[in-house]
A and B are shown apart, each in its own frame.
Chain A
Amino acid sequence: QKEVEQNSGPLSVPEGAIASLNCTYSDRGSQSFFWYRQYSGKSPELIMSIYSNGDKEDGRFTAQLNKASQYVSLLIRDSQPSDSATYLCAVKSGGDDMRFGAGTRLTVKP
């Protein structure tokens, strides 16, 4: 079992819809959770961080964390074609390293 699991997709949603991206992790001691967006051929860009259970909203993005279920998700409201990218879930436990999932490829169709 990989430490951070994501559905590789591709996930396709129409413009204006809600895109829901999911991530599960194996280390119960994980403390910090991040979502990165990576356009093709570019480096990852941090879009959300979440550290405690519940929801955290930032503009069209909402991150949700459930530590009991070892689950973190990202919702993108009013999806735009420019949101088409690979979304990487990253998890940090007590150590120095950050563990990334393989990413979910999202396509928003006009």
Chain B
Amino acid sequence: GAGVSQSPRYKVAKRGQDVALRCDPISGHVSLFWYQQALGQGPEFLTYFQNEAQLDKSGLPSDRFFAERPEGSVSTLKIQRTQQEDSAVYLCASSLSRDLREQYFGPGTRLTVT
């Protein structure tokens, strides 16, 4: 079946621009996660949704980062007034079960802020 998809795959933004990154989880997956992965590092947790509820946003680095999942399926991660330090790969993952076990990752969006 179809896996997790993300768009765009690559995004170049000028500093100060707003960007929106989209994630389509695996159909029927209740849980959805966003991660930020810098070069040479492991993914860093940003936020977590269970259906449409954002249950944990403790990893969002600043109030410029905002995520939503209004209908409990597709999710959007928005970054306002992008800064160079926001340059990274943004990964989305989904999980079937509420107990948050195995997560399946999308291909990621590589964001470059110039």
Contact = CB atoms under 8 A, between A and B. Distances in A.
Same assembly:
yes
Interface of A: 4, 32, 34, 36, 42-46, 49, 88, 90, 92, 95-103
B104 A98 contact: no
A100 B44 contact: yes
Chain B, interface SS category = loop
13 contacts: A42-B107, A43-B91, A43-B105, A43-B108, A44-B43, A88-B42, A96-B55, A97-B33, A97-B59, A98-B45, A100-B42, A101-B42, A103-B42
Contacts of B45: 97-99
A32 B101 contact: yes
Interface in B6-63: 33, 35, 40-45, 48, 55-56, 58-59
Given A46-B103, A49-B102, A101-B42, A96 B108 contact: no
Chain A, interface SS category = strand
A56 to B, nearest CB: 13
B48 to A, nearest CB: 4
A95 B56 contact: yes
A99 B43 CA distance: 8
Interface residues of B, number: 23
Interface of B: 33, 35, 40-45, 48, 55-56, 58-59, 91, 100-108
Given A99-B45, A102-B42, A44 B55 contact: no
A75 B77 CA distance: 36
A92 B42 contact: no
What are the 6 tightest A-B residue pairs by CB atom distance, in nearest-first order? A100-B42, A97-B45, A96-B56, A43-B105, A96-B48, A100-B43
A93 to B, nearest CB: 11
B41 A98 contact: no
A49 B107 contact: no
Given A43-B91, A43-B108, A96-B48, 15 more contacts: A4-B42, A32-B100, A32-B101, A43-B105, A44-B105, A46-B102, A46-B103, A46-B104, A49-B102, A96-B55, A97-B33, A97-B58, A98-B100, A98-B103, A102-B42
